[in-house]
């Protein structure tokens, strides 16, 4: 995959309603995510994208500066993988609704194949944050790979 195409994957990943199925539709119809990102509204209909998702794309796309997003990601030391990347975790690809884009901080090692995912709440209490921090810290200290969802 062309590395400059990654920023368009990130862009679509920031738009609500675009998951595995929509990514596949966009890529199949447009050939790559850059073409999809630059497509006209009517082209999305031809690609089989529903009206609500088209509306989200059309309204949010102009507000997203993909170069700035990529700079923030790079400054944070985050690596981006799409499901096409050979380094994309095989076990993750086996689930029905696998994420088309994942963000990695640190390293993906073969021994990380078995890991523990910690998925939080959008409205977490102070107590919940504290307990989660304590549990995750102890897991990491004991060499257990923790994945954030």
Structure tokens at 118: 């910690």
Q: Are residues 8 and 80 in the same domain?
A: yes
Answer whether 0.85 is exceeded by the pTM. no
Q: What digits encode the pLDDT tens for the residues 88-114?
A: 988 888 888 999 999 998 888 877 777
Same domain, 115 and 100: no
Please provide the DSSP assignment of 6-55 as one string.
Answer: HHHHHHHHTSTT-SHHHHHHHHHHHSSHHHHHT--HHHHHHTT--HHHHH
**Structural domain for 135, as ranges:** 110-148
Mean pLDDT of the 113-126 span: 81
Distance CA 19, CA 99 (A): 7
By three-state DSSP, how is residue 69 classified? helix
79 plus 27 within the same structural domain: yes
Q: How far is CA 66 from the centre of its chain?
A: 14
């Amino acid at each position: 995959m062309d590395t400059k195409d990654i920023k368009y994957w990130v862009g679509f990943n920031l738009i609500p309603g675009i998951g595995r199925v929509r990514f596949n539709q966009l890529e199949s119809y447009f050939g790559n995510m850059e073409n999809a990102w630059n497509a006209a509204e009517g082209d999305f209909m031809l690609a089989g994208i529903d009206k609500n998702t088209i509306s989200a794309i059309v309204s949010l796309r102009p507000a997203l500066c993909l170069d700035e997003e990529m700079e923030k990601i790079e400054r944070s030391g985050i690596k981006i993988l799409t499901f096409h990347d050979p380094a994309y975790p095989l076990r993750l690809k086996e689930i029905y609704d696998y994420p088309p884009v994942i963000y990695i901080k640190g390293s993906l090692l073969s021994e990380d194949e078995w890991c523990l995912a910690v998925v939080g709440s959008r409205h977490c209490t102070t107590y919940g944050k504290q307990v989660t921090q304590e549990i995750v810290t102890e897991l990491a200290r004991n060499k257990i790979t923790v994945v954030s969802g």
